[in-house]
Each structure stands twice: as C-alpha cells, then as structure tokens.
Amino acid sequence: MRAESSTVGVIGQQGTLDPFAEAGLLRDLPRPSQVFSNLTPNWYASIMGTGIVAVAAGSLPWQPRGLHVGALVVWALAAVLLVALTAATCIHWVREPDAARRDVLNPVMAHFFGAPPMALLTVGAGTILLGRDVVGLRAAVDIDWVLWFGGTVTGLATAAVVPFFTFTRHVVKPDSAFGGWLMPVVPPMVSASTGALLVPYAPAGQARLALLLSCYAMFGLSLIASIVIITLIWYRLAVYKVGDATMVPTLWIVLGPLGQSIAAANLLGGVAHLALPAPYSTALQAFGVVYGVPVWGFAVLWGAIAGAITVRTAREHLPFSLTWWSFTFPVGTCVLGTSELALHTGSNLFHVAAVLFYVGLVAAWTTVALRTARGSLRGTLFRTGR
C-alpha cells in the first residue's frame, strides 16, 4: 500500500484522479509520498509487538483450541510487516539520506535503532516455532538462521554504537534517561533467548558449544548494561518525576530485559546439556530458576509501578503515539519468562500468571494495533515528529 501511495501521489500531482484522496486514505498528509519522508526506526516496534503475541502464544502452559492457528496468523502478519517496513525503510534511506542520518544523531530517536534487530529476531523465532507448519521445518530453520544472524550482528552494533554516540556526541541532560535507553542494549538478550532455539540445529561439537557460550555472553552483556540503565531511570523518576506524558509508555520497556533475561536463562539452561557435560549443564539449568524467580519478582514490582503511573497519566492526558507499542513487546517477554518458569518449576502460580499476562498482552496489542492502523491509513503517524 505504501509503495502504491507514492506512485498515486505523483499521478495526483499531474492532475489525474487520486483514488487515495477519494477514499480518504493518507488524508492527513499533503502528499502520499511523504509516507517515506519521516519513517523512523521506532516503527519496527510494531513488528516486535505483533511478533511477540505469536511467539508468546506458543510458550503458554495452557493451549486452548484455536490458539495455535491464531498465533500462526499473527506471525504471518508480523512477517509481512517486516518485509514491507524494511522495503519502505530502504526507500527512506535512499530518498531522505540526510533525515535518516539525523535520526542517528538524535539523542532520543537514536536509541530506537535497537528495534529493527529485535524485529528480525522475533519474526525468526516465530518462524521456527510456528512458521514451520507453513514452510516446513528445514526451511523454517534456514530462515531463522538468516534472521538470527542478521538480528544479532545489527543488535551488537546498536549495543556498541548508540552508547558510543550517547557518550561522545548526543546532548544529554540530567533528566534525559528514559525507557528508550534500553532499546539498543536489549537486542543481544533477545539473541540469547532466540539463539537457544537454534542450539539443537547447530552442528554438534565446537560449533554448537560456540553458539551456546556466545548466547550466554550476550546474556551478560545485555543484563549488566540494562541494570545500569534501569538504575538511571529509577534515579530520574525519583529526582525529576514522570515528565512528558508521551514518554510514560516507555517505562514499560524496563520489563523487556527483565522478562527476556528470565526466558533466556531458562531456554539456554534447557539446551545446555547438548553442548556441555555435567556438572556445568546441570548448574546452568538450575541457574535459570535460581536467577529467574527473584528477577520475576522485581518485574512484577516494576509492572505495578509503571501501571500506576500510566493510569495516573491517562486520567489527565495520554496522547497516542508509537511509544504505545511499549505496552506490548515488554509484556510479551514477561509472558515468555513466566511460561519458562512454569515449565521448569511446575508451579501453578507461574501457570496462572503466564495466562493472565498473555490476556493483558493481547488486550494491549489489539488496542495499539487498531489505533496504529487508523493513524497509518489517515497518514497522521507519518507526519514529522509523530
């Protein structure tokens, strides 16, 4: 639709009837071609949020009838969005290279370059968990390898480059810390958890061991960086308070590294025996629960705090923007982590919590997806600064 919009906009300028204008599509844009003018990396959060709905469904301890089919449809939607948005982003970089480079130097938007790698990794995980029913196991594994390597390489790049620019070029104020600072450092954690799905398909021996150990290294890389940033966010909230209402949804991003690390620790522990002998493999499997349960407790605490701040802000005014996608992917990671704890502990508490979190995730995704679709069709979300 977006590529067609650009063509139609040109035809419209030549005096030919513009069907988009007649249908009311992109009516908030002076020209349909402006869809590509202000395309920022935070759009990939919509793919992350959509893909996690599908991936989390496959991990739930309770599998009602129809859930798998529904998850498969949502995964397909996320895959289509990934292809379409990547094509649109390439057009953006070709047509608006200066604007694209300005995003890299923008002290707020630069952090969202962590979204594309996580979108690749999420769709890749969905391919091996769900897409295998459509394309077959062999093709699903091959596709996931490509998306995992792509997401991992670009994710490691954002984890290093964005902080480098923050330390050397971005103008940062004492109250600048916000949830988006986590975006560039979380992709390696997503690589760690999704890499666990590929460990059984890696060649036995040194290749499989290297993959497992690399995933644990990325787990540590992302975890320590996230702890530092979460501390800064807590400090900013305590000293400078909540701040701009549009940034409130980004508080939920803190749940991302928490939930994803719980899932990674347990997923990697579950496949450690394929690459490491006892007692190391046994210790790593136990580490998943020993680490996961305390962190799960902090995730619940942060969820309660973020929820209370969100409700308080919504009572006054909480304008819709793409930051609302922060209500989806981070919650989805908590579903994954809770489901893994349910599997490894057999606790009914985690079984029930995983289902409740998933219900909340679906409700959030439905709300945000519908509002994003409406804003996209009208063109509102493609205007500068939206």
- List per-residue pLDDT tens for the chain, 386 residues long: 333 433 333 333 444 445 545 555 777 777 777 788 889 999 999 999 999 999 999 999 999 999 999 999 999 999 999 999 999 999 999 999 998 899 999 999 999 999 999 999 999 999 999 999 999 999 999 999 999 999 999 999 999 999 999 999 999 999 999 999 999 999 999 999 999 999 999 999 999 999 999 999 999 999 999 999 999 999 999 999 999 999 999 999 999 999 999 999 999 999 999 999 999 999 999 999 999 999 999 999 999 999 999 999 999 999 999 999 999 999 999 999 999 999 999 999 999 999 999 999 999 999 999 999 999 998 888 875 44
Contacts of 164 (CB under 8 A, 6+ apart): none
Three-class DSSP category at 107? coil
Q: What structural domains and CATH numbers belong to the chain?
A: 37-379 (1.50.10.150)
Helices 329-345 and 280-316 pack at an angle, to 10 degrees, of 140
